[in-house]
């Protein structure tokens, strides 16, 4: 990082237009802006400068060279537990907590209980189909189904609580109270009360050896207030990310019925086979839609690639756009899961789970759960698209149209 002086380098090129508005009008806006200005350019995010980096290699280099001057933009959780969210930790503190988590994940094996997750998916989808002709807002009902499904899955992964047990049910209620309408960015009295209740439930629980990730962390004597708070909020944030991901998987399934059917018939489409068509479908959905951006707040003036990036700017490393590079992917705007079967792209070209030391530690779990979902859906149902429209920019992610809805038609009966 460099303190600039009177001869400071120029700001990156670009107009000072509001990024959100430009993007809401055109999802591909940044791809076109890159053609005009090159891979580093500026815009505005509210009243702050936002510098966009549309190139994975440059993004990686930026994070490597200037990591210490950057603060990841995410939920601020210090009011709930000491040291806050792992996503914002740095240095030795980050290494310590991330190390404990990664060790627990490794010793669990990513989402080992594939059968349990497939059964869980089947149960939630069946409940949806039983009422699908009576839902007043089928799109909302489907989102609620997916949210319930992934909450249950993550409660099992993290806390070892099996669906149907009182412990699982209590945790479901706790998370429903924490985020009844989606992830809450602001922590107010309601979130604090719901968080305190979840924390008590988990502290009072008698952990059996190796019971979920938390049981492993207890075994390793790693569960302090910071770790526990992080585990709760990982599930809270992760469940909405995963529900959004499953919604995109459904959307691509509805738009690619032949591929979905092939997954249903694919003898290798079990959750554990690697690579499988289901896995290719899950990865291509990440490439096309669910991997979006890394955001960093600049805490000290920076010079990068000859450009001045002032303190208080936000830097946005644009994954969605980088994943549409025609140098890295043939026909990059086409949905084509086979690209992951034939000649899988390297991590240099495809990085949906991040680029630096904050890279997602749950990436394998996320893919395994996605495979359990898409495989079960494909084996049991055909999808009838009943409402659709252009993708919309939701509060955190790009999402299928608000009204996007499907009917699930049982393969047994069609």
- Site residues (vs ligand HEM, CB under 6 A): 72, 86-87, 98, 154, 234-235, 238, 241-242, 245, 286, 290-291, 294, 352-354, 358-362, 366
Residue closer to ligand HEM, measured from CB, 138 or 354: 354
The smaller minimum CB distance to ligand HEM, of residues 245 and 259, is found at 245
Burial-class residue 207 by CB neighbours within 10 Å (0-12, 13-18, 19+): middle
| Cα distance between residue 152 and residue 164, in whole Å | 10
* Nearer residue to ligand HEM within complex by CB, 11 or 187: 187
Measured from the CB atom, is 132 or 366 closer to ligand HEM? Answer: 366
178 CB-side CA count, 13 A: 26
- Least distance to ligand HEM, CB of residue 407, Å: 25
Of the pair 357, 407, the CB lying nearest ligand HEM is at 357
Q: How far apart are CA 185 and CA 395, in angstroms?
A: 10
CB of 396 to ligand HEM, least distance (A): 11
Shortest reach from residue 16's CB to ligand HEM, in Å: 25
Closest-approach residue to ligand HEM (CB): 238
CB of 159 to ligand HEM, least distance (A): 11
Nearer to ligand HEM, 98 or 403 (CB): 98
- Smallest distance from the beta carbon of 276 to ligand HEM, in angstroms? 18
Q: Which is nearer to ligand HEM, 156 or 205 (by Cβ)?
A: 156
Q: How far is the CB of 184 from ligand HEM (least distance, A)?
A: 16
DSSP collapsed to 3 states, the chain: CCCCCCCCCCCCCCCCCEHHHHHHHCCCHHHHHHHHHCCEEEEEECCEEEEEECCHHHHHHHHHHHHHHEEECCCCCCCCCCCCCHHHCCHHHHHHHHHHHHHHHHHHCCCCCHHHHHHHHHHHHHHHHHCCCCCCCHHHHHHHHHHHHHHHHHHHHHHCCCCCCHHHHHHHHHHHHHCECECCCCCCHHHHHHHHHHHHHHHHCCCCCCCHHHHHHHHCCCCCHHHHHHHHHHHHHHHHHHHHHHHHHHHHHHHCHHHHHHHHHCCCCCCCCCCCHHHHHHHHHHHHHHCCEEEEEECCCEEECCEEECCCCEEEEEHHHHCCCCCCCCCCCCCCCCHHHHCCCCCCCCCCCCCCCCCCCCHHHHHHHHHHHHHHHHHHEEEEEEECCCCEECCCCEECCCCCEEEEEEHHHC
Q: Which is nearer to ligand HEM, 40 or 294 (CB)?
A: 294
Q: Are strands 293-298 and 398-399 parallel, antiparallel or unpaired?
A: unpaired
How near is the Cβ of 5 to ligand HEM at its closest, in Å? 31
Question: Which residue, 245 or 350, has its beta carbon nearer to ligand HEM?
Answer: 245
Least distance in Å: CB of 360 to ligand HEM?
Answer: 3
Q: State the minimum distance, in angstroms, from the CB of residue 102 to ligand HEM.
A: 9
Shortest distance in whole angstroms from residue 357 CB to ligand HEM: 6
The rounded distance, in Å, linking the Cα atoms of 398 and 27 is 9
Count of beta carbons in the 10 Å neighbourhood of residue 414: 8
Q: Which is nearer to ligand HEM, 141 or 360 (CB)?
A: 360
């Amino acid at each position: 990082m460099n303190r600039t002086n009177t001869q400071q380098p120029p700001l990156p090129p670009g107009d000072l237009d509001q990024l959100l508005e430009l993007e809401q009008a055109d999802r591909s806006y940044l791809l076109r802006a890159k053609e005009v200005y090159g891979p580093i350019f500026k815009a505005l995010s509210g009243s702050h400068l936002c510098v966009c980096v549309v190139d994975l290699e440059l993004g990686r280099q930026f994070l490597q060279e200037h990591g210490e001057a950057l603060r990841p933009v995410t939920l601020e959780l210090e009011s709930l537990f000491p040291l806050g969210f792992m996503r914002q930790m740095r240095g030795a503190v980050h290494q310590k907590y991330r190390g404990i988590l990664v060790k627990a994940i490794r010793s669990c094996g990513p989402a080992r209980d594939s059968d349990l997750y497939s059964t869980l998916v089947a149960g939630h989808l069946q409940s949806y189909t039983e009422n699908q002709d009576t839902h007043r807002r089928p799109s909302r009902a489907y989102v609620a189904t997916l949210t319930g499904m992934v909450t249950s899955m993550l409660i099992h992964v993290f806390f070892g609580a099996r669906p149907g047990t009182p412990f699982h049910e209590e945790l479901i209620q706790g998370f429903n109270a924490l985020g009844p309408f989606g992830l809450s960015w602001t922590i107010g009295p309601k979130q604090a009360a719901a968080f305190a209740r979840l924390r008590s439930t988990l502290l009072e629980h008698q952990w059996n050896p190796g019971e979920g990730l938390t049981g492993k962390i207890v075994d390793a004597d790693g569960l302090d207030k910071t770790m526990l708070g992080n585990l709760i909020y990982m599930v809270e944030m992760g469940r909405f990310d995963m529900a959004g991901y499953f919604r995109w998987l459904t959307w691509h399934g509805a738009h690619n019925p032949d591929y979905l059917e092939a997954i249903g018939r694919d003898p290798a489409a079990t959750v554990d086979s690697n690579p499988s068509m289901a896995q290719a479908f899950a990865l291509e959905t990440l490439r096309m839609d669910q991997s979006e951006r890394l955001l960093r707040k600049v805490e000290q003036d920076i010079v990068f690639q000859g450009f001045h990036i002032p303190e208080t700017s936000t830097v946005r490393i644009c994954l969605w756009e980088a994943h549409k590079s025609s140098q890295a992917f043939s026909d990059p705007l086409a949905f084509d899961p086979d690209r992951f079967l034939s000649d899988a792209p390297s991590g240099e070209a495809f990085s949906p789970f991040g680029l630096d030391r904050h890279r997602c530690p749950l990436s394998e779990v996320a893919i395994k759960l996605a495979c359990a979902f898409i495989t079960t859906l494909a084996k049991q149902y055909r999808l009838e698209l009943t409402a659709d429209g252009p993708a919309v920019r939701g509060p955190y992610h790009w999402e299928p149209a608000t009204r996007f809805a499907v009917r699930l038609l049982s393969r047994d009966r069609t």
